[in-house]
Amino acid sequence: MSLKILIFYFFSSIFFLTNNLFASHVTVVDGDTIKLGDVKIRFSGIDAPEINQICVASEGKVACGKISRDILITKVTNNKISCTDEGKDFYGRVLGECFVNGESLSRYLVREGFAFAYRKYSDKFILDEEYAKSNRLGMWSMKFQYPWDYRKSN
């Protein structure tokens, strides 16, 4: 086998193994986007608050975008992550659903109230959002602006 073919197989295997990297190789960008190596993955079907977004809780203003990101960091730390590849978005990010120990990170974030079902693109997480809303979990216990509305106004 030639050196070029070996190099191709080496880099191809790294690309395909990115779905199984440990959290030490994962960078959490915000509440709905991670990087596995050099591959940026935007969680499909959900939308989390923007990193600068502020919500109002009973104790006052809180950085709900940073809270959402930090919840995701806690969830992925020291765990294996696997992701589906559902194509690319307008910005060139891979769209997908990522899992830790078989649990959907998207479902977890929405069900705990730290992200929203992105109904414009999917109905997959609506029941999880309704659960969080009815139990006043996460952002549902605060005054907030939906991330898509926040982006339009900022």
Contact indicator for 46, 116 with CB cutoff of 8 Å:
yes
Cite the active site residues: 42, 50, 93
Tokens of residue 87, six digits: 């194509």
| Mean pLDDT calculated for residue range 8-35 | 60
Residue 68 has what pLDDT?
Answer: 98
In the chain, what is the straight-line distance between the N-terminal and C-terminal CA atoms, in Å?
A: 55
Domains and CATH numbers, the chain: 3-153 (2.40.50.90)
Pairing of strands 33-36, 26-30: antiparallel
> Distance between CA atoms of 92 and 87, rounded to whole angstroms?
9
pTM of the model: 0.82
pLDDT mean over 45-55: 97
Summarize pLDDT for 118-142 with one digit per residue, the tens.
999 999 999 999 999 999 999 999 9
* Contact present, 146 and 62 (Cβ < 8 Å): no
